[in-house]
Structure 1
């Protein structure tokens, strides 16, 4: 619903998060009025960077909770677009069903119902994850997966790979969102981003950025996460945060043709390739490019996640090489204090 002065309005859930706050910034820069939801608007530590974005344009910060039915009604009322980014992440829970899967699916449906109720939302963009696409047994090399591929939940729940509850939560959230969208006549697109790195307004980040910088920072736990991605994904698929946010806005605005799921991946690499690149580009960090005696690391990716559908729709990635990706994230890592210099 256009505002009185013809400005389009967008709601972004989980507005103070890593992806969401970058999305809020982009929308404001594009001239949108934005309504961002957070659990507790009074939490200065978690929201100060979001409040700073109010200097860019009309940004309202509203209280909403994924667990509470109807708590997103006010946030999506009158909006043209709704970007569903908020999602629980509880990777170490001993009860993934209760702590990860149920809250994810329930939260997604809560926001979707609010969108149906609003009656003004022209398109919903759900941020999922590529782990809904590719976690399945794949023998050999050369696999190319697209949006028709789903992670094998039977195999995932039997084998219980790392963060298996997260994988299940993403698949079920997508499927339930698609079902409810069809039921209520909601136009829905789903973005499935891979390992997302790059600069965000957020002053503190977890997981993807420290993982991508782990060979420079020496953070063994973060490197362990990167190794886990390579093992379960059959490579290290990467997208820059700026490209992901631009893709989500593109998918919202391309109303006539865009539909269903979209993998968002600039390219797929390996830890070995990243290490060699970093050693050349940043010699001051003494990156270890020694041979992997354990045999765990890949020389080349076994699996490629294809973004052909997104590109055919007319989207163009800006960050297409390790050089472009790392220039962005290294500067961000320095600003966050993850890297010393």
Structure 2
């Protein structure tokens, strides 16, 4: 940002989450004014890192809940960019439709409605997952998955896998967000990161980090997720959380033709190929 430029403002949903906490930190370091949301701002066990990050720049913390329509209005009001990172992640949900899939779609649309109300948001960056790409029958050796690939919701339903809710939720929230953005003239970019690792300000992580650490911890449930990824894709692709955050920021800011648009896999190198 050049001297004299007006400070840009970004909203990051779910600021006490693993990826979101790293993104908040990077935005502050880049000179952004940041507004972030958590379900309970008074829970210092989950939010103490946000208090620490206020030393880096302008950071406001707002209460918002994905299940409450309109609860993101205040946080997104006046923002130039909105980063939709918060999402249900209960991979082991007993009732994935009610506990994971429906809340994920509903919550995503709730935040997008707040973006429309704000009237200032230049671009929305949605963080999905490569789980929305890879959960499908592969077609022989050398089959390449790219941004045109989608996880097969009907195949997942037929397998009745206990982990089916997560990829299905990502597919359906992506498609719902895309339809909503087209109907309301929102500039939407979606990132689909692979297994994300690396240090972040949040005091805990619920998915990729404990899954990777299961190789040392012996946590069989966490390891089963890694095993499932390897069986589905033939590898366990990794991306560093800082690289993902840089991609998020690039996707928000890139307006030079051709402007960032659509869907991008965030993966350094593997059998998953992202368009350049």
Sort the TM-score into its range (normalised by shorter chain): over 0.9
Aligned mates of 1:104, 1:65 — CA distance in 2: 12
Indicate conservation of the 8 Å contact 1:9/1:32, yes or no. yes
- 2:82 and 2:115 in contact (8 A); partners too: yes
Instruction: Say whether 1:173 aligns with 2:140.
Output: no
| Pairwise CA distance, 1:22 | 0.2
Which stretches in structure 2 are left out of the alignment for 5+ residues?
Answer: none
Secondary structure of the corresponding residue to residue 237 of structure 2: strand
Structure 1 position 267 matched with structure 2 position 269: yes
Residues 258-278 of structure 1: CA distance to partner in whole angstroms, max 9, x if unpaired? Answer: 10000001123xxxxxxxxxx
> Is this contact kept in 1: 2:46–2:203, CA < 8 A?
no
- What is the aligned partner in structure 1 of residue 123 from structure 2? 123
Structure 1 position 109 matched with structure 2 position 76: no
Give the corresponding residue for 2:74: 74
Query: 1:306 — aligned with what?
Result: 273
2: CA distance between counterparts of 1:201 and 1:242? 11
- Taking the aligned partners of 2:127 and 2:261, their CA distance within structure 1 comes to 14
**Whole-Å separation in 2 of the counterparts to 1:98 and 1:92:** 12
Residue deviations 1:273-307 (CA, integer Å, cap 9, x gap):
xxxxxxxxxxxxxxxxxxxxxxxxxxxxxxx1112
Counterpart in the other structure of 1:334: none
Q: Which moved more, 1:141-150 or 1:14-23?
A: 141-150
> Aligned equivalents of 1:105 and 1:16: distance in 2?
20
On the 8 A contact 1:34/1:58 being kept in 2, the answer is yes
Tell me how far apart the structure 1 counterparts of residues 83 and 229 of structure 2 sit (CA, whole Å): 26
Greater Rg over alpha carbons, structure: 1
Is 1:52 paired with 2:52?
yes
Instruction: Identify which range, 188-197 or 136-145, moves more after superposition.
Output: 136-145
Moved more, 177-186 or 251-260: 251-260
For residues 1-341 of structure 1, the aligned pairs below 5 Å read 6-256=6-256, 257-268=259-270, 304-307=271-274, 309=275, 312=276
Equivalent residues, number: 271
What's the CA shift for 1:213? 2.9
Residues in 2 aligned to 1:219 and 1:104: alpha-carbon distance in whole angstroms:
27
- Relative to structure 1, the CA distance from residue 242 to residue 116 in structure 2 (aligned partners, 3 Å threshold; closer, same or farther) is same
Q: Residues 95 and 222 of structure 1: is their aligned pair in 2 closer, same or farther, counting only changes over 3 Å?
A: closer
Q: Note if contact 2:29-2:56 (Cα within 8 Å) is conserved in structure 1.
A: yes
- Given the two structures, how large is their TM-score scaled by the length of structure 1? 0.77
Write the distance in 1 (CA, Å) between the matches of 2:165 and 2:224: 19
Where structure 1 has 5 or more consecutive residues not aligned to the other structure, the ranges are 269-303, 313-341
The alpha-carbon distance between structure 1 residues 51 and 173, as it changes in their structure 2 partners (threshold 3 A), is same
The 1-side partners of 2:199 and 2:148 are apart by 31
Q: Give the Å deviation of 1:158.
A: 1.1
- CA–CA separation in structure 2 for the residues paired with 1:94 and 1:151: 21
* Structure 2: distance between partners of 1:118 and 1:221: 42
User: How well do the aligned residues superpose, as a CA RMSD in angstroms?
Assistant: 1.4
Q: Indicate if the aligned counterparts of 1:81 and 1:122 stay in contact, CA closer than 8 A.
A: yes
Q: Secondary structure at the match of 1:140?
A: coil
Q: 1:80 to 1:156 in 2, by over 3 A?
A: same
> How far off its partner does 1:5 sit?
7.1
